[in-house]
Structure 1
């Protein structure tokens, strides 16, 4: 794929590209509201019944696979071109990223390239700093960055921000299959839970924990990178925006919360570069490289990192 450091900046193409169909927009609300409600219901479930080891194993397994589909696939590969790979790995990354239920691939990539083009300025789809710096403005900004922007019906212009993916037949197919892949990401844990326990109740609990609850947790971890990682945290690198590092999110986000260097050097395959900064996504990319499934990886070297350090 072509290396992409930043989205096309042609001012002849508008930022927005129409609106979601009503059915798709309603489904956004469903998948924003239902999984967190499932998470709340999960608390009494966990106290004594309705939770087994098969639920935990399946939830962790599907969380890791779908989270890496977003971080390694949607983000570092498709959005920023941090490495190159072959067709089947490319399709696998697109499919597993779609199963995180964060939107079809063309929408996700267009939104994120637009975010980098206008980070924390007018035009950024989810900056928390668009409404001012007072307490009320920051509260409104946090809501907007964390969740409010997801509920907006307007779509980022894909022809401006993701023309390479629009030209890729495989990606257009995966984009259209977002609905079936959403069904699959909820149904597969239920099927596996039923088979592992050989019971209908095992299927129900796996659907709940490894389906709904897993999606809810992953949603809020990803949204926290949009909101918290632009509001509080460490800023050791010089970026032109307010991106920060938030270490408590590092494991759950697979390294995405080392957000400050990412905004200073967006195409880097590794975000956590200082001692102790665990970056699971970078490790996965390294494994792909060792297996010769990834090449031309944009690893940061000491000289490059030093250029971005604050004086």
Structure 2
């Protein structure tokens, strides 16, 4: 990765691996995240056992990837809440917030604060998941440690005041509420599977098997898949791919992630024009998340949808803070 340095009024920002190591604050393990992420991966691995498999469970997982991942994370957390790419009615905002919580990617305020900080310092040491440290750090390592400069109080005060002004979104900061929603949706999946089996005349053993199958596939496999899509945008899309715009960081458009992450992989386009609700700027850059927002617009659930202010070939641009 190219070396460089950006100097601000109060700090010098490092952009090489050696400087990053020297400037790195003391870190300690974040055991809650380590245990939680490990647990989800272990349960998701049960999908390899035939007992938990059914094509219905696979279809539910695919549908859940769209509802909880594309709508919850991409549409709501990212393009709506962080970047204000469109407007939406309050009741629909609340529904999307709950869908996002079920993706287990932290609270709305924390997700927004981390992402806005990323845009401000993209690929420099203050970037929470800078790939300058390493690919593994950018992908998941940063989540597994407590970083002194990433305390909730510090980053909320600077990056998420607008989110916390909303009473409902602020209530989701309560860990009992946050974790309660996550655990409750496990039981919704299990109850739906077991209940349907019993109503259809199945036995108790069959109900148990199908209910557990929906939980393994519809919750854990789906969540792990969405995690790695989101994490790969932070890592892969800052290391490999092509660039439509000469931004002042290392963002890339990655074709694979453009497809698997429903448009989030067109990351260079996004860094060049953060507020735009559309990340695919060329005809072949498929952006399912943007199409979803447009569908919401037709349904009266989204308006003032922000379109790109730039186009490929328009010359050099600078990364803009995502405020």
Q: TM-score under structure 2 normalisation?
A: 0.80
- State the 1:77 CA deviation: 0.5
Residue number in structure 2 paired with 1:37: 42
Q: Counterpart in 2 of 1:5?
A: none
Q: How does 1:87-126 map to 2 (within 5 A)?
A: 87-126=90-129
Runs (4+) of structure 1 exceeding 4 A deviation are 306-311
Instruction: List gaps (5 residues or longer) in structure 2.
Output: 1-7, 11-28, 199-206, 318-323
**Which position in structure 2 is the counterpart of 1:165?**
163
Query: What is the 5 A alignment of 1:206-285?
Result: 206-285=214-293
Contact 2:130–2:137 (Cα < 8 Å) also in 1? yes
Quick one: distance in 2 between partners of 1:307 and 1:79?
Answer: 27
Correspondence for 1:72: 75
Q: CA deviation at 1:309?
A: 4.9
SS at match of 1:149: helix
Is 2:139 aligned against 1:146? yes
Q: Is the 8 A contact 1:238 1:308 kept in 2?
A: no
CA distance in 2, matches of 1:102, 1:283: 23
Matched, 1:187 2:195: no
Q: What's the offset of the Cα at 1:175?
A: 3.0
Q: Is the 8 A contact 2:68 2:102 kept in 1?
A: yes
Contact map agreement 1:191 1:203 (CA 8 A) in 2: yes
| Residue 273 (structure 1) shift | 1.6
Deviates more, 1:105-114 or 1:189-198: 189-198
For residues 196 and 153 of structure 1, the distance between their equivalents in structure 2, rounded to whole angstroms, comes to: 43
The structure with more radius of gyration: 2
Q: Distance in 2 between matches of 1:162 and 1:305?
A: 29
**SS in structure 2 at match of 1:84:** coil
RMSD between aligned alpha carbons? Answer: 2.2
TM-score (norm 1): 0.83
Please say if residues 55 and 193 of structure 1, whose CA atoms lie closer than 8 Å, have aligned partners that are also in contact: no
User: 1:136: which partner in 2?
Assistant: none
8 Å CA contact 1:56, 1:209 repeated in 2: yes
More displaced, 115-124 or 56-65?
56-65
Give the total of aligned pairs.
277
SS in 2 for 1:128: coil
